[in-house]
Amino acid sequence: MDLSLDDRLRQRLLRVRELGRSEMRPLGLEADRLGRPLPADHPFFERLVALGLGRTRWSGEGEAGGAGGGGTRAVVQLAEEMAYWDRGVAVAFPGPGLGEAPLLALGSEEQRERFLGPFRSPDRPHWGALAMTEPGAGSDVAAIRSRARRVDGGFVLDGEKSFAANASRADWIVVFATVDPALGREGHRAFVVERGSPGLGNFHVEHKMGLKAYESTSFTLRDCFVPDSNLLAGNDPSARRSGFSGALRSFNSTRPAIAAMAVGMGRAVLDESVAFARAHGLLRSIRVQDRLERMRRKLRASRWLCLRAAWLADLRRENQLEASMAKAIAPAAALDAAVAGMEILGEVAGRGDTLVEKLFRDVKAMDIVEGTGEIQRIVMARRLVGLPRDTG
Ligand SMILES: Cc1cc2nc3c(=O)[nH]c(=O)nc-3n(C[C@H](O)[C@H](O)[C@H](O)COP(=O)(O)OP(=O)(O)OC[C@H]3O[C@@H](n4cnc5c(N)ncnc54)[C@H](O)[C@@H]3O)c2cc1C
C-alpha cells in the first residue's frame, strides 16, 4: 500500500493545519458555547472560497478527480486533519457535501455538469446536501416512505426527511424516495431537488448534543415536482436497482473519510490529554500512561484501516468490507479515547468547559452517521458467512 504524500497534498495538509489552528478550532468552540450553527453568511465561508476550498472532487472529466493527487486517500487524510481541529466546522464548509458521492456514482455527465459544475470554481459559498434519513427510517433505509409519484415530465415527491447536513442552505439536495414502498429497495430512486422548488420547505435545524457548528436539518416535501432531468440514474427499467445500490456504492467511498474524521477527533483528545497530564504532573502515573497509550494504539490502527479502504477505492477495487471495518472501528476507538480523556481530566472535565468534554459530546455522532457501528458489524458478518451484502 503506497502511503506517500505528494507535495501538493503535503501543502494542503499544512494549510488545513494553519486554518484549523487560527479559525476552525475557535469557531467550533464558539458555536458549541452558543449552541447554534455558523450562519450561511458567515465571513469565514467567503474566506474559504477565496482560499480555493469548498470545491467538488469532480474535475469535469469522467469520474472523481482533482482531489489533490491520491484521490480517496487524499480525501481521507484531509478529513482526518480537518476533524482534528473541528469536525462540526469541517462539515459546515461550503461544498457539495454528502450529495457529491451519489452524483458521481449515479449522475449523467449532463447532471454532474449542472449540479457539480458550480462547485468547480465557485465565486461564493455553495452547499449541496443528501437526505436519506426519515423519522421512521434510519439504519433501515429500505423503510423510507417518501413517495415519488410519476407525472407528466417528472415525479411528484411527498415525505419527511431528517438530519440532513446543510440542507436549508443547499443549492440542491439529493433526496431518496420510493416509487412503491411494496417494492422495498427496488422501488428507491434518487432525485436532485433544487432550492426553491415549490413544496420543498418547513426547514428545521435539529438540536444536537455536539457538532453544533453545522446544521442538521429536517424538512418536508409536499407535492414537490421534480423534472425527469433531475432523476439520477435515468428513468428506464434497467435502472430499477440503481437507487439503492447507488447509495450503497456511494457510502463505500465516503465511510473511510467519516471514519478518518473520528481518528482526527480522537487525536485531538489524545493531544489535549497529554497536555493536561503534563501541566498537572500526571505523566509519570502508570494509570495515565496506560490510558494515553491505549488511545494512541487504537487510533493508529484505525487510521491504517481508513487508509486501506481508501487505497482500494483509488484502485477501483472492491472495498465494502474495509470501508465497514474502518467505520466500525475508528469511531469506537475515538469514543474510547474521549472517555479515557474525560477520566484523565477528572473533575476538570466535569465542569463542561474543556475541549475534551466537547469532543466527548461531538464524537458519539461518528458512530451513528452513515451506518451505525452495529450495522457495519452486520454487513461484515453477512460477508463472512457468505450472505448477500445488503443488510436487512
Ligand atoms: C450528527 C448527525 C448527522 C447526520 N447527517 C445526516 C445526513 O446528512 N443525511 C442523512 O440522510 N442522514 C443523516 N443522519 C442520520 C443518520 O444517518 C441516522 O441517524 C442513522 O442512519 C441511524 O438511524 P436512526 O438514528 O434512525 O437510528 P435507528 O436506525 O433507529 O437505530 C437505533 C439503534 O438501533 C441499532 N440498530 C438498528 N437496526 C439494527 C439491527 N438490524 N441490528 C442491530 N442493531 C440495530 C442502531 O445501531 C442504533 O444503535 C445524521 C445523524 C446524525 C446524528
Specify if 51 maps to a domain: no
Specify if 233 maps to a domain: no
Residue 5 — pLDDT band, cuts 50, 70, 90? confident
- pLDDT tens digits for 182-214? 888 888 899 999 999 999 999 999 999 999 999
Match 479559525 to its residue by C-alpha cell: 23
Residue 65 — pLDDT band, cuts 50, 70, 90? very low
Specify if 364 maps to a domain: yes
* Choice from 100, 162, 163 to test ligand 1 binding pocket (greatest atom count within 8 A of CB): 163
Alpha carbons 102 and 343: distance in angstroms, whole number: 41
pLDDT attached to residue 186? 82
Ligand 1 binding pocket includes 377 (Cβ within 6 Å): no
Distance 46 CA to ligand 1 centre (A): 32
pLDDT attached to residue 66? 42
- pLDDT tens digits for 332-351? 999 999 999 999 999 998 88
- pLDDT tens digits for 336-391? 999 999 999 999 988 888 999 999 999 999 999 989 999 999 999 998 998 876 54
Ligand 1 binding pocket includes 101 (Cβ within 6 Å): no
Q: State percent of the chain over pLDDT 70.
A: 92
- Residue 247 pLDDT > 70, yes or no? no
Specify if 25 maps to a domain: no
Residue 239 — pLDDT band, cuts 50, 70, 90? low
- pLDDT tens digits for 28-53? 999 999 999 999 999 999 999 999 98
- Residue 241 pLDDT > 70, yes or no? no
More confident residue, 46 or 72: 46
Give the CATH number for residue 343: 1.20.140.10
Question: Going by CA atoms, what residue is nearest to atom 25 of ligand 1?
Answer: 138
pLDDT attached to residue 3? 81
In this prediction, residues 4-17 reach a mean pLDDT of 92
Ligand 1 binding pocket includes 211 (Cβ within 6 Å): yes
Ligand 1 binding pocket includes 175 (Cβ within 6 Å): no
pLDDT attached to residue 238? 63
Query: Residue 44 contacts by C-beta under 8 Å, 6 or more apart in sequence?
Result: 23, 27, 38
pTM above threshold 0.85: yes
Among 286-295, 297-306, 348-357, the least confident range: 348-357
Question: Going by CA atoms, what residue is nearest to atom 9 of ligand 1?
Answer: 164
Which ligand 1 atom is at minimum distance from the Cα of 132? Answer: 11
- Residue 328 pLDDT > 80, yes or no? yes
Q: What string of DSSP letters covers 324-382?
A: HHHHHHHHHHHHHHHHHHHHHHTHHHHTS-SHHHHHHHHHHHHHHTTS-HHHHHHHHHH
Its sign, for the CA torsion 384, 385, 389, 390, is negative
318 has catalytic annotation: no
Distance 146 CA to ligand 1 centre (A): 17
Specify if 104 maps to a domain: no
Question: Going by CA atoms, what residue is nearest to atom 48 of ligand 1?
Answer: 372
Alpha carbons 78 and 75: distance in angstroms, whole number: 5
Task: Write out the residue range of the structural domain in which residue 355 sits.
Answer: 243-385
**Contact between residue 230 and residue 192 where contact means Cβ atoms under 8 Å apart:** yes
* Choice from 32, 133, 382 to test ligand 1 binding pocket (greatest atom count within 8 A of CB): 133
Residue 63 — pLDDT band, cuts 50, 70, 90? low
Ligand 1 binding pocket includes 368 (Cβ within 6 Å): yes
Specify if 345 maps to a domain: yes
Distance 368 CA to ligand 1 centre (A): 5
- Residue 118 pLDDT > 80, yes or no? yes
More confident residue, 10 or 105: 10
Q: How many domains does the chain have?
A: 1
Ligand 1 binding pocket includes 250 (Cβ within 6 Å): no
Distance 350 CA to ligand 1 centre (A): 28
> H helices within the chain, ranges in order?
7-19, 25-34, 43-50, 71-92, 100-106, 109-116, 242-279, 286-314, 320-345, 347-350, 355-368, 373-384
**CB neighbours (10 Å) of residue 92?**
32
Alpha carbons 313 and 220: distance in angstroms, whole number: 34
pLDDT attached to residue 62? 59
In this prediction, residues 247-257 reach a mean pLDDT of 76
Residue 68 — pLDDT band, cuts 50, 70, 90? very low
Residue 1 — pLDDT band, cuts 50, 70, 90? confident
- Residue 300 pLDDT > 80, yes or no? yes
In this prediction, residues 137-158 reach a mean pLDDT of 94
**CB neighbours (10 Å) of residue 345?**
23
Which ligand 1 atom is at minimum distance from the Cα of 98? Answer: 8
**In one letter, which amino acid is 17?**
R
Which ligand 1 atom is at minimum distance from the Cα of 371? Answer: 21
Among 65-79, 250-264, 361-375, the least confident range: 65-79
CA distances from residue 341 to 290, 333, 345, 360 in whole angstroms, order as listed: 12, 12, 6, 8
Ligand 1 binding pocket includes 146 (Cβ within 6 Å): no
Q: State percent of the chain over pLDDT 90.
A: 76
Ligand 1 binding pocket includes 213 (Cβ within 6 Å): no
Residue 17 — pLDDT band, cuts 50, 70, 90? very high
Distance 186 CA to ligand 1 centre (A): 21
Residue 216 — pLDDT band, cuts 50, 70, 90? very high
Specify if 359 maps to a domain: yes
Distance 369 CA to ligand 1 centre (A): 6
